Structure 1
Amino acid sequence: MRPRAAVVRCHYFRDTRVRREVDALLDLEFEVEVFCLRDAGESSREQRGALLIRRLPLRHRAGAGAARLLAEYASFFVLAMILISWRAARRPFELVQVNSVPDALVFVTVLARARGARVLLDLQEPMPEFFATKFEVTMSHPAVRLVAGLEQAAIRFAAHVITPTEPMRREFVRRGADPHKISVVMDGADEQVFVPSSAHGEAYSRFVIVSHGTIEPQYGLDTLIRAAAQLRDELPDFEVRIIGDGSQREELRALAASLGLERWVHFSDGFVPEDELIRLLSSASLGVVAMKRDRFRDLTIAGKMFDFVALGIPMVVSRTRSVEEIFGSDCYEGFVPDQPEDLARAIRRLHDDRLRAKALTENAHERVRPIAWPVQRRRYQEIARGDR
C-alpha cells in the first residue's frame, strides 16, 4: 500500500512551488491529498490518479483588510483541521505538509500528528515582515510581535521546516529557531515544463516587456507603467504585457489610461493556464521584476526570476538584498526600486545593447544551474522521506 501525504495550502493552483512539491511527492509513490480554497467554477473534489484535491467552500477576497484576512484564515483553519483530522482518523497520513501563510496553519495537523504523521512546514514568506509591511506598522508593534511568536511556535511544532531563501532561514534562526530544523529549498522553474515555445523570436520584430504573477502593490507594477510613459516617445517598437490578476489590476489599468498608454500597456484577462503563460513569456524580449524594497522583500525572492532564466529571457530586476545575494549583479540589469526613471534607464540599456542582454542571460543560466529545481527537488524529496 502506498504511503499517504496531505498538503495544506490556501491557494494551490496559483502556487507553482507547492504544485512542484506535490509532483515530487507523487514521484516518491505517495498518495497525496491537497486541501485548499475553492475558486468560482471549481468542484469540491477532484481526483487525478494518486492525487486527490479537496477544495473547502471558502474564497479569498483580493485586497482584504486585516480583519477580513483574519476571518478568512480562521475559517480555513477550522475547516481544514476538521477535514484533515477526519481523514487521518480513517487512515493515518505518513506525512502532512503545510505551506504558509499563515504560519499558524501548521496546527491544523495536531490530530494527524497524534496519529503518527510527520509534520513538514514550508515557510514560504516571513510572516512578521509580511504583516508589518502590509499594514505599515513597525516590527515592535504588539501584533507583529504576536505573529513572530506564532512563527516560532509553528517551527517548534513541526518535525522539519523548509524555506525558499537563506536570508529567510537566517532571520528565523535569529528569532530563536533551531538552525538544524530548517533547510533551504529554493524556488525554481521546472525546466522540463518551462521550455521556450515556437513563439520565441517574435520579440525581435517588437520589443516585448513582460511581468507575470499576482498584481499587488508590493510588486511595483506601477513603477513599470510609469517607466513605460517615459519610454513611449523614444522606443516606438516596445510593448508591455502584464499577465496575472490581483487587487491592483483595475488601479493599474486606470493609471495606464491616465498616462495615455493604452497602445503600449496590455493586461491579460486574469491568470492564464501554464502552457499559455509559457507561450506568452517565450515571445518576450525582456522580463521585469519591479518589487518594492522593504524588510520583507529583502528576505524573499520572486519566483518569476527563475521562469525568465529557464526561458532564456533577459531580466531587469529591482535591487534587494536577497536578489543580490542569490543571483549577483552580472545576471540582470538592476535598478533602484520604486524609481521609474531608473527602470526606464535599465530597459533602454538592454533595448539598445542586445549583446549585454545575451551575456546577462547566459550568466543567469550558469548561476542557476547548481541551484535549479532538479537539485532542489532532490533535496525536498530527501526531507519529505525524513532523510534530513
Structure 2
Amino acid sequence: MRIAYLLTDLGIPFFGRKGASVHARSITEAISQLGHDVVCYAAVAGDDPAQPSPVTIRVVTLDPTLEELVDAASRDGQASARPNLRRREIAGLCINDPFRRRVAEDHSHRPFDLLIERYSLWSLAGARLARDLSIPLLLEVNAPLPEEAQRFRSLALAAVAHAIRRQVFHEAAGIAAVSRELAEGAVREGADPGRIAVVPNGFDPALFHPGDPEAERRDGFVVGFLGSLKPWHGIETLCRAFAGLARDDSRVRLLILGDGPLRGRIERFARRFRLGDRIEPAGSLPHDRVPALLRHFDVAVAPYADAEGFYFSPLKIFEYMGAGLPIVTSAIGQIAEVLEDGRTALLVPPGDAQALACAIRRLRDDEGLRRSLGGAASAAARERFCWRDTARKVIGLAQGILESRTVCHGA
C-alpha cells in the first residue's frame, strides 16, 4: 500500500525526543519495514535523525499570508490577554489547508491507498482529504486531547476542539486507539464501535534489549525513571518514596531520564532533603541514547498517580520491559493488563509512596527476583509488543477497511 501519514500537530516534531515523536517515527518506520510505501507529512521536522529513516518526510508549513492572518487574529479582541495561546491554536487550525493542498497534489501524481492521521486538537485535514480524494482515513488516537489541555494547560478555543473531535471521529473509516479507555471514549464521541481497534504502543527490540548487569552497574543501588516530568507521571510520589529509601540506605541513588515542568520541584526536593549528590536529573535525551542509560538502572519505576479514566499506553513500560529491567509501577489502566504482579513486575497502588518504597526495597534485597522479573518482562515484550507487531495490527485494521469498501463499491 501507498500510505500518507499526517502529523499536523505543531508541537510534535517527527525527529523529536518526546514520546509522541517516538511513537510517530516508530510506527511509520515499522509500517515501512513491512513493505509499504509511507510518506509522512509533518508540521515540524525536528532534529537531524541519528540514522536515515525509511520513511519519506515532507514538511508542511504555513505560507506567509496565513502567518500574517494568524498574527492578526491572535491580537484581536479578548485574545490579546493570551496572544501566544491563541496564536498556537489558530495556527493549528490554519495549517489544515496547506496539508490538504500538499497531500492532494502528491496524490494527483502518485495516488495514495490510505490516509493515517495522528489525531490532534485542530486537524481536519485527514477527514477533508478522505472526502475529497475518496480514500479511507485511519485515525490514531493517543489521548483525550481537549480534556488533557483543559486540565493541565489551557484551551482558549475549547468548543472548536470538541467539535473537531466529534467530526473526525464520526468521519474516520477506522480508529486505532492506544488503550481500551480511549476506544470507549471514541464511542462516546459518536464513533462506530465496529470501526475501532485497541492498538497499544510498543518498543524497538533492536534498541531495547537486556544487557550485562555487571558490566553496566554504577556504584550503589540505582532507582531509575524515564519520561517527561509532568503531573500524571507520579513525580511527587516518587520523591516521597525516595526520601524514605535514602533515609534508610546511603547506597540508593535516583537517576531521572527526562525533563519537564516538574524539574524544579525535584530540584527543590533534593535541596530540602540534602540529596543533591544522590539524585541525577539527566534531562531530555535523544531516543537512541536512552537504552545505554537504562542499563544503569537496578530497578525501573513508573509511579503513575491515581486518576479516573487512566488512558495511557506508556512507552516507558514497553521500553523497560524490552530492556529486561525489573519494574515497579502502578496497578492502573493498561499497565495492569500488560504486566502481571510478581511475574513480570511488582504492581503497587497508584499514588502510594510507601508501597512504592517497600517494593523497591524488596527488589534491592532480592537479586534473584530482579533477574526473574526482568527476564519474564523482556520475553513478554518480545512476544507481543514490538513496534512491528503494532504496525501489523494497524495494517490489519486498514486492510479490513479497504476490503469492506471494495465489497460496498462492488455491490
TM-score bracket for the superposition, by shorter chain length:
0.7 to 0.9
Q: Distance in 1 between matches of 2:82 and 2:186?
A: 23
Q: Which one of 37, 41, 54 corresponds to residue 34 of structure 1? A: 41
User: Hey, what does 1:52 align to over in structure 2?
Assistant: 57
Distance 1:353 1:323, change over 3 A: same
| Displacement after TM superposition at 1:6 (Å) | 3.1
Deviation of 1:112 after TM superposition, in Å, equals 5.9
RMSD: 3.3
Number of aligned residue pairs: 370
In the TM superposition, 1:198-209 aligns within 5 A as 201-203=215-217, 205-209=219-223
Measured in 1, the distance between the counterparts of 2:253 and 2:178 equals 32
Distance 1:135 1:32, change over 3 A: closer
Match of 2:174 among 154, 160, 163: 160
SS, match of residue 214 in structure 1: coil
- The CA distance in 2 between the partners of 1:67 and 1:333, in whole Å, is 46
Distance 1:278 1:48, change over 3 A: closer
Match of 1:334 in 2: 347
SS in 2 for 1:294: coil
Q: CA deviation at 1:210?
A: 1.3
Once residues 317 and 177 of structure 1 are traced to their aligned partners in structure 2, the CA distance between those partners, rounded to angstroms, is: 32
TM-score (norm 1): 0.82
- Deviation digits for residues 55-107 of structure 1 (CA, Å, limit 9, x no counterpart): 6479xxxxxx99855642431331243134234235344333221342x4244
The aligned runs of 1:302-321 (5 Å cut-off) are 302-321=314-333
Contact 1:98 1:120 in 2 (8 A): yes
Shift of 1:242: 0.9
Q: List gaps (5 residues or longer) in structure 1.
A: 59-64, 138-142
Q: Is the 8 A contact 2:5 2:28 kept in 1?
A: no
- The normalised TM-score by structure 2 is 0.78
CA distance in 2, matches of 1:192, 1:217: 31
In the alignment, what sits opposite 1:105? 123
Unaligned regions of 5+ residues in structure 2, if any?
68-80, 404-411
| Change beyond 3 A, Cα 1:50–1:189 | closer
Aligned to 2:358: 345
- Paired letter, 1:183: A
Task: Tell whether 2:304 aligns with 1:291.
Answer: yes
Match for residue 7 of structure 1?
6
Deviations 1:353-385 (CA, angstroms, capped at 9, x unpaired): 222233333443454454312322211223345
Structure 1 residues 206 and 71 mapped into 2: Cα distance closer, same or farther (>3 Å)? same
Distance 1:278 1:118, change over 3 A: same
Is the contact between residue 241 and residue 357 of structure 2 (CA under 8 Å) also seen in structure 1? yes
* 1:226-270 CA-partner distances (Å, limit 9, x unpaired): 2222111322222111111222223322222222111111111x3
1:198 positional shift: 6.0
The separation in 1 between residues aligned to 2:237 and 2:167, in whole angstroms, is 38
1:246 and 2:260 matched = yes
Contact 1:188/1:306 (<8 A) preserved: yes
1:94 is matched with 113
Q: C-alpha displacement at 1:315, in angstroms?
A: 0.6
CA separation in 2, counterparts of 1:241 and 1:253? 13
Query: Secondary structure in 1 aligned to 2:95?
Result: helix
CA distance in 1, matches of 2:248, 2:24: 42
Alpha-carbon separation, structure 1, partners of 2:53 and 2:250: 47
Deviation at 1:174, TM superposition (A): 4.4
Farther-moved stretch of structure 1 (153-162 vs 318-327): 318-327
Moved more, 227-236 or 112-121: 112-121
CA spacing shift, 1:112–1:322, aligned 2, 3 Å:
closer
Give the alignment partner of residue 269 of structure 2, picking from 234, 242, 255: 255
The 8 Å contact of residues 220 and 338 in structure 1, kept in 2 or not, is answered as yes
Distance 1:241 1:47 in 2: 30
| Contact 2:170/2:190 (<8 A) preserved | no
1:72 has 2:88 as partner: yes
Report if the CA contact (8 A) 1:216-1:247 is conserved: yes
The letter for the 2-side match of 1:260 is R
- Post-superposition Cα deviations, 1:252-289, rounded to whole Å, max 9, x if no partner, equal 22222222111111111x32122311100022111110
Letter matched to residue 172 of structure 2: A
* Contact in 1 for aligned 2:99/2:125 (Cα 8 Å): no
C-alpha separation between the residues in 2 aligned to 1:196 and 1:55?
39
Q: Distance in 2 between matches of 1:320 and 1:289?
A: 11
Do the aligned residues in 2 keep the contact of 1:208 with 1:285 (CA within 8 Å)? yes
Question: Does the CA-based 8 Å contact 1:120-1:161 persist in structure 2?
Answer: yes
Change (3 A) 1:387 1:234: farther
Determine if the alignment matches structure 1 residue 122 to structure 2 residue 140: yes
Alpha-carbon distance change, 147 to 76 in structure 1, aligned in 2, over 3 angstroms: closer
Higher mean C-alpha displacement, 305-314 vs 121-130: 121-130
